[in-house]
Structures are given as structure tokens and as C-alpha cells.
Amino acid sequence: MGNLPSKKNPLITDKLEIYKNMFENSKDIILLFDINGNLIDGNLAALKSYGYSKSELLQKNISHIRIKTESLTFKKQFQLAANSKEGVEFHTFHVRKDGSNFPVEVKSVALTINSEKIIFSVIRDISKRLISESELRILASIVEYSDDAIISKNLNGILTSWNNGAKILYGYTKEEIIGKSLSVLIPPKNSDELNVILDKIKLGEKIDHYETTRLRKDGKEVFVSISVSPIRDIYGNICGASTIARDITETIKKGKELREKYDELSAVYEELIATEEELRTNYEQLEESKAAADKANIAKTQFLANMSHEIRTPLNGIIGTIDLLNLTNLTNEQLEYITMLKSSSNILLHTINSILDISKIEAGKYEVVTKPFDLKVIIDRIIKELSLACSKNGLLFKYNVDSSLQFNLLGDSLKLNQILTNLISNAIKFTQNGYISFNASKTSQIGNKIGIKFSVEDSGIGIKDTFKNQIFKKFVQQDSSYTKTYQGTGLGLAISKELAKMMDGDIWFESKSGEGSTFYFSIELDIDTSDITSANSLVAADVISPDNFKNTILVVEDNEINMKIVSSMIKKLGYNFITAGNGMDAINLLKNNDVKLILMDVQMPILNGYDTTKIIRNNSSNENIPIVAMTAYSMVGDRELFLENGMTDYIGKPFEFDKLKELLSKYL
Ligand code: ADP
């Protein structure tokens, strides 16, 4: 200690050593100032706290280490310290060498040494104490303003603290409740709860989220979830308990509602399960019924195919005979009767074909056959037919074919033809006055694919609004009384719609009753980029060559009438022909005759048409002879079956003179 006087007395010297040690090693900062506030000495704690070396510290004045406060200047402090025996005690902030400051508690006392006054200050860093005090204040305010009720009680159940949350939950103010027993909050039915809780607490146990009810000041019960923990004194002994209580009335209410909802849903679920079971049973029954219906449908289709065969064979005879009669010399009266006969037969044939088509569609046996074809041939035929019909019926005929439309296309020309034929025959059938107009236009082209829209417009009877949504249904006609006026089965549009669907096309219409109708048919088709000429061409050469007689045709047919009709027609056309009653005879005849074309029945005794064709094809000299099947089984798709079996083409019975003519000129 720099300026402190020392005496030579050894006891004093020892004491001085002790004081010096105490001074140096004190945890508190100890500073000595002269009357002007200049530092005279400072201990190790001072050097450590302010960050100065000893020599630096001794250069300093109180003004360097204390933040400036107007309230207590050093002079004032000095005077206060000098005037009071106990000295002065105050809080302030001291500044470190690096400029930072820290809170201190200062105790200063004035001493007179060798008639000089000095100030002796013991300074304690109280930053840690301040922090924990402020933490405590924060915690206290958290507790006070928590939404949960936080209370404490002693081991007798007497309430010792009460926060704002408790006031809100139970309705009592702090002043009203502190000092009272917790039992005021416990409903009589739970009265033993207090002792149970206190017993657990005394054992040092905690209670977590215990759900119970409590009594509010207004007498109402509230549902609460409480957690209770023991409180220990500074010696570790349990002296009370703290309780956190949360109002769960809403949660309980929600839970109750949810449970009710759950029960309701469970009931609905049970009902659904029962319904599902019922549905499953119904479904199984339906499946069984469907299987039975499918079976019946297959049987129906088969029956129709058989029936049609049975009806077509005599019909072939009738139509063929009519055609033959037509070629003889007839009186005008006979010609009139023949025309009526032909018309009725054609209607009958059309009806059989429609019934066959719809049952085949229903049985899913109708297939789309994509092949190269010439659309121009179809359009030409339609224009020809329409213009003929219009001039016959005194109607105006208009048509327009888009010049940008490509004609060499890939698609199912037979189905396309069938749809357009149906639309134009309806237009002809239902129009007495005015006009019919036919249009074909290209609607799109993406790469090789083109969109085509056909429309057939007429100024006929039109379609009533009430009938519009029926029109594509099977067997429906606008008015049953019409059936007397307009012939038909009510199947044409149903078949057309299905055929269009199969080809990813569409059919629709616009119509006003009494004013007319426009039917549209749209389809997308690929352009045929190959050079193959149309196999489905509907055009046949009109001119018959005088060389026809040089070509011999072999007709293989077991039915005598049919044979007679076919042979008469061939004769009329000027071709040579030989006949065989079954396949075996045909094979024998082929050995000795130069046959250019074979017309072959399919169903025959001894050797049928398929097997005969196979044998003929296996003979190298006959493998290229065109073989045309003649059959009454003419459902779409049959053609493919015949071709697969080595036949070149097929002609459906009953065939007409013109059809045969067309076919023969195609192959000969
Ligand atoms: P069908 O012509 O054999 O009766 P469709 O299925 O082709 O059968 O037509 C069903 C019905 O739709 C017809 O009977 C007719 O009432 C009505 N219909 C079809 N096309 C026309 C049209 N162009 N004008 C007026 N009515 C039509």
C-alpha cells in the first residue's frame, strides 16, 4: 500500500502484512482516493475489473472510472463520506478501460491519515445480482399475467399466492382468497380431493394434468386440468404446493360434441356398411342377371343370324327372279307389278340388314376395318342418288364438296358409306317439298390426319323438340302414325350413331319442326400415302367387254333356284359358265376347264366352300383364280373371314343384277 505509513513494531508489521493481504485479495474492488479524487491505490480486483495495469490505474481520477452523474459529484460524495461516521453507500456505474460499464454498489468512508484526508471505497460488481433480480421480476409478471390459474398453498391447504389467471378462472380477487383454505374451490362431491392432493405433495410427488371440477365464486362449476408440484424451503423441506389450473370447459364441450358427432358418424357408417352389403348382394344378383342377359343376347344374335339366313335365301330367289323377269319382255302393267315387288323386297332386305346390324353391334361383334379407299367414289354415288331422287320427287338439289378435301384415305369405307346412305335416305324420305343439300368439307389437317364434316340438309317435316332426345334410340320414330306414311324401322340413326362412335366420329343434328333438318357427321381419317388402288372401290366399269364370252365362270351352288338365278344373270351378261352342285364336283371340273373366276357358295353338302377353296389354293395351277364367296351370311366382318380363308372377295345374297355385273367386270 503505497502511501500508508509503517511503524517498526513487529506486531504492527505483522498486522500490516495481514491488512495488505486482505486488501490485495479482497473479492471486492478497493480504491483509495485523495481529496481531489485522484487514485492513490487499488487492489487486484480493481485491476481485473477495470482492465488497467497498476501504473495506469494510479494515473486515473474518479472521473475516469465512474460514469458522469449529476446527482452525486465526487465532491459531494467526499463531503458525505467525511461528515458521516458510517460513510456513504450508493449505486452507480463504473467504466472499464475498454469503455464498457457495469453496475456497482459503492461504500465510501473518509479517513484522516497523517492529517491528510483520503477516501476509502469498497466497490462490489452487482451486475449478476441485477440480472437475477430482473429475471425474478420477469418471472413474477409472467406468473401474474398468465392465462392459467397459478396459485400456491401451504401444507394445510391454506392459499398463499393467487395470480390474475386464478382471479379470471375462479372469480375471487387475491385479497378475498389468500389465507383461506383451498377447500372453498372444491365442490362438495370432490371434498376428499384436497387431502389426497396434500398427501401426495407431502410425499414429494407431482400431479400432472389431473382433470376435475372446481367451484367458482358465482357457484358455477368449471372443468379444469390441474398440475400440482411441491414447493421446498431453502433447506429443501416441503413447505407447500404450487398449482397450475387450466379451464377445459370448452375442450370438454368440444370433446362431447365430437363424441356425439362420432356416434352419429358411426351410426351412418353402420348404415353404409349395411347398404354396401345390400348393394353387393344386388350387384351379385345384377351380375347374374347380366350374365343371363348376355347369354340371351348371344342367343338372340345367333337366332337373328340364322333367321336372316333362312329369310335371305328365299329372298335371294325372289329378288333374283324379279331381276330376271325385268329382263324379259313385259307389258306396262307387269312392269308396274314387278317394280312394286322389287320395292317391297328391297324394304324387307333393308329391314333384315338393320336388325342384323344392331344385334351385331349390341353383341360387340362389329369391328372397324381400316383400309385404303376412295372417298370420291362414295361422294359421287351419293350425289348421283340424291340428284336422281330429288328430280324424281320434284325437289331442288344442291351440293358442295370442299376442293381442298383429299379423297385417297384410310378408313372403314363400308361403315362411312352406311352412315351417309342412312342420312340421305332419311332426307329423301322426310322431304316432300323444297330442297335437299349435301356438303362435304375439310375441317382440319394435322400432318396426315384430316377432319371431314358431312352435312345433309333438307326442308322436310323437321323434328319436334319433344322428340329430339329420342332420335338416336333404337326402334323410335317421331310419330307412330308416321310409320304408315314413312317406312322404316327406327334403327337407321341408332346404327349410324354406333358406327360413328366406333370410328371416333360423331353424328348430331339441328332441326325445326315443319321447317327442315340438318344432320351432321364428322370423322377424322388418315390420308393414304401408298399407291395401292382402292380395294373397296364401289365403282365398277360400266361397259361390258364383247370378249366376255371368252371367260369361263365356274358357279358352285347347291340350291337349285339360286343356281338358276345366278346362271341366268351370267348368261345375260354374256359370260361363259359351268356349274357344280358341291365342292367336290367343282374341283373335278377345274381339272379340265380353263376357269377365270369361281363364284362359290359357302354352305354346301359333301365339301363346303371353305374346304373347297383350300384344296383349290393348294393346287399350284389354280392358286391365282379369283374365288368370290356367295353367301346369305352377310354381316359386316364376314368379308374378312372369307379373305382369311383364301377367297378373293364376297357377294352377299340376295345379290342384284347390277351388283353381279359390277363384280364380274371387276375380276374379268
Ligand atoms: P327410320 O328412318 O328407319 O325410321 P332412323 O333411325 O333413321 O329410322 O330415324 C328415326 C326417326 O327419326 C325417323 O323415323 C324420323 O321420325 C326421324 N328422322 C330421321 N331423319 C329425319 C329427317 N331428315 N327429317 C325428319 N325426321 C327425321
From residue 93, give the alpha-carbon distance in Å to each of 48, 62, 68, 90. 16, 12, 9, 10
Report if residue 315 sits inside a domain: no
The rounded Å distance from CA 20 to ligand 1 centre is: 129
The rounded Å distance from CA 462 to ligand 1 centre is: 9
Tell whether 456 and 574 lie within a shared domain: no
Mean pLDDT, the chain, integer: 85
Tell whether 53 and 97 lie within a shared domain: yes
Which residue in 551, 563, 555 sits closest to 585, CA to CA? 555
Give the dihedral of Cα atoms 376, 378, 384, 386; nearest 10 deg: -130
DSSP string, 351-411: HHHHHHHHHHHHTT------EEEEHHHHHHHHHHHHHHHHHHHT-EEEEEE-TT---EEEE
Is the pLDDT at 444 greater than 90, yes or no? yes
The rounded Å distance from CA 168 to ligand 1 centre is: 83
Residue 488 CB less than 6 A away from ligand 1: yes
For the stretch 536-584, pLDDT in tens is: 333 333 334 455 556 789 999 988 778 888 888 888 888 888 999 899 9
Residue 489 CB less than 6 A away from ligand 1: yes
pLDDT of residue 534: 40
Q: Out of 508, 535, 562, pick the residue that ends a domain.
A: 535
pLDDT of residue 482: 47
Residue range of the domain that includes 415 = 367-535
Residue 492 CB less than 6 A away from ligand 1: yes
Q: Work out the number of other CB atoms within 10 angstroms of the CB of residue 249.
A: 14
SS3 content of the chain, % helix, strand, coil (to 5): 45, 25, 30
Report if residue 356 sits inside a domain: no
Q: Per mean pLDDT, which range of 33-42, 72-81, 617-626 is the poorest?
A: 72-81
Residue 427 CB less than 6 A away from ligand 1: yes
Residue 152 CB less than 6 A away from ligand 1: no
Q: Is 52 helix (H, G, I), strand (E, B) or coil?
A: coil
**179 burial level (CB within 10 Å; 0-12, 13-18, 19+):** exposed
**253 burial level (CB within 10 Å; 0-12, 13-18, 19+):** exposed
Tell whether 159 and 212 lie within a shared domain: yes
Strand partners of residue 458 = 436, 517
For the stretch 223-263, pLDDT in tens is: 999 999 998 876 678 889 999 999 998 888 898 999 999 99
Tell whether 92 and 167 lie within a shared domain: no
> Please, what is the angle between helix 560-573 and helix 657-667, to 10°?
60
The rounded Å distance from CA 514 to ligand 1 centre is: 14
From residue 10, give the alpha-carbon distance in Å to each of 16, 66, 96, 514, 584. 10, 39, 39, 146, 159
Q: Is 244 helix (H, G, I), strand (E, B) or coil?
A: strand
Tell whether 398 and 518 lie within a shared domain: yes
471, 483, 484, 507: residue to mutate for ligand 1 pocket, most atoms within 8 A of CB = 471
pLDDT of residue 541: 34
CA atoms of 601 and 194, how far apart (whole Å): 109
CA atoms of 226 and 186, how far apart (whole Å): 12
Residue 430 CB less than 6 A away from ligand 1: yes
87 compared with 646, residue with greater pLDDT = 646
Task: Report the nearest-CA residue for atom 8 of ligand 1.
Answer: 490
Tell whether 469 and 618 lie within a shared domain: no
Tell whether 439 and 507 lie within a shared domain: yes
Residue 37 CB less than 6 A away from ligand 1: no
Tell whether 468 and 569 lie within a shared domain: no
Contacts of 181 (CB under 8 A, 6+ apart): 156, 157, 158, 159, 194
pLDDT of residue 544: 42
Q: What are phi and psi of 369, to 5 degrees?
A: -110, 115
pLDDT of residue 531: 55
The x, y and z cell numbers of residue 486, run together, are 314413312
Q: Could you give the strand order of the β-sheet that contains 595-601, starting from the edge strand earlier in sequence?
A: 576-580, 552-556, 595-601, 627-631, 649-652
The rounded Å distance from CA 75 to ligand 1 centre is: 123
Tell whether 95 and 16 lie within a shared domain: yes
Which band of pLDDT confidence, cut at 50, 70 and 90, is reported for residue 667?
confident
464 residue type, one letter: K
The rounded Å distance from CA 477 to ligand 1 centre is: 6
Cis bond before residue 372 (omega within 30° of 0): no
Ligand 1 atom nearest 479 alpha carbon: 16
Residue 491 CB less than 6 A away from ligand 1: yes
Tell whether 492 and 459 lie within a shared domain: yes
Q: Per mean pLDDT, which range of 175-179, 300-304, 353-357 is the poorest?
A: 300-304
Strand partners of residue 112 = 117
**What does DSSP say about strands 116-125 and 101-113: parallel, antiparallel, or unpaired?**
antiparallel
* Residue 40's CATH number: 3.30.450.20
CA angle 424, 426, 431 (to 5 degrees): 100
Which band of pLDDT confidence, cut at 50, 70 and 90, is reported for residue 283?
very high
Which helix or strand (DSSP H or E) is residue 617 part of?
Answer: helix 609-618
Ligand 1 atom nearest 427 alpha carbon: 23
Q: Per mean pLDDT, which range of 189-198, 289-298, 543-552 is the poorest?
A: 543-552
Is the pLDDT at 58 greater than 50, yes or no? yes
Tell whether 183 and 107 lie within a shared domain: no
Ligand 1 atom nearest 422 alpha carbon: 7
pLDDT of residue 537: 35
Residue 499 CB less than 6 A away from ligand 1: no
The secondary structure of 532-571, three-state, reads CCCCCCCCCCCCCCHHHHHCEEEEECCCHHHHHHHHHHHH
Residue 358 CB less than 6 A away from ligand 1: no
CB 305 within 8 A of CB 635: yes
Ligand 1 atom nearest 491 alpha carbon: 6
Instruction: Quote the percentage of the chain above a pLDDT of 90.
Output: 43
CA atoms of 604 and 606, how far apart (whole Å): 7
Residue length of the chain: 668
CA atoms of 407 and 401, how far apart (whole Å): 11
Q: How many domains does the chain have?
A: 4
> Please, what is the angle between helix 492-502 and helix 413-429, to 10°?
150
Our measurement of the distance from residue 385's CA atom to the centroid of its chain's CA atoms, rounded to an integer in Å, reads 50
Tell whether 494 and 415 lie within a shared domain: yes
- The mean pLDDT value for 18-36 works out to 90
Strand partners of residue 540 = none
Q: Out of 535, 556, 578, pick the residue that ends a domain.
A: 535
* Residue 459's CATH number: 3.30.565.10
Which band of pLDDT confidence, cut at 50, 70 and 90, is reported for residue 14?
confident
The rounded Å distance from CA 425 to ligand 1 centre is: 9
CB 614 within 8 A of CB 645: yes
Strands (E) across 561-655 are located at: 576-580, 595-601, 627-631, 649-652
Report if residue 350 sits inside a domain: no
pLDDT of residue 644: 82
Strands (E) across 58-194 are located at: 88-95, 101-113, 116-125, 149-154, 159-162
Q: Per mean pLDDT, which range of 263-272, 304-313, 455-464 is the poorest?
A: 304-313
pLDDT of residue 542: 37
347, 352, 430: residue to mutate for ligand 1 pocket, most atoms within 8 A of CB = 430
CB 241 within 8 A of CB 197: yes
Residue 478 CB less than 6 A away from ligand 1: yes
432, 455, 493: residue to mutate for ligand 1 pocket, most atoms within 8 A of CB = 493
Residue 417 CB less than 6 A away from ligand 1: no
The rounded Å distance from CA 311 to ligand 1 centre is: 26
**608 burial level (CB within 10 Å; 0-12, 13-18, 19+):** middle
CB 589 within 8 A of CB 560: no
Q: Out of 535, 559, 590, pick the residue that ends a domain.
A: 535
Ligand 1 atom nearest 488 alpha carbon: 3
Ligand 1 atom nearest 489 alpha carbon: 3
Residue 495 CB less than 6 A away from ligand 1: no
CA atoms of 325 and 340, how far apart (whole Å): 13
